[in-house]
Amino acid sequence: MSSRIHGLISLSLMYISLAIGLFYVISDSRPLGLFYLALILLAPLVVVYAFCAKCPCRLDNCGHYLPGQLTKLFPPRKQGPYTGWDISGVAVPLAALLIFPQFWLWQNKIMLVIFWSLFIIALTEVKLFVCRGCGNEKCPVHPGRA
């Protein structure tokens, strides 16, 4: 199975997880749910600019095909080692996406477990299959660096 199939699987699992969180937030508070929806739509753009736009594989060999293609919308970034700012551009939006719905998910422990299970499976899928097919040796999680 190609890394692009695994990329599609991992992104799908991540978004299903986030959709579960969104459902629980919006069912309790429409304004907070709309805020979280905006976060779900905007946070990946920050990640794509901060991280993906520096990747030399983004246009022709990206396991996460869609984020690679989204980099075309942003100004070009110089390829090279990832800085603390680049890594923060992934960590902060990702943390916000994961932490925000926890209050609502905590009220339904089964959905909380499903939310985290899907996300952990998605990250495992990325690390085991998507990263393995990537040639970005500057990436901090590249198999040759880890």
Q: What is the pLDDT of residues 16-28, one digit of tens each?
A: 999 999 999 999 9
| Amino acid 1: pLDDT | 62
Average pLDDT of the segment spanning 112-132: 92
Question: Is the pLDDT assigned to residue 126 strictly greater than 80?
Answer: yes
Which residues, 6 or more positions from 67, have their beta carbon under 8 angstroms from its beta carbon?
A: 11, 44, 47, 48, 52, 58
Domain borders along the chain are 3-133
- 142 sits in the region (left: phi over 0; alpha: psi -120 to 50; else beta) called beta
- Locus of tokens 């984020």: 67
Q: Which of 40-49, 73-82, 118-127 comes out lowest in average pLDDT?
A: 73-82
Q: What is the pTM of this model?
A: 0.89
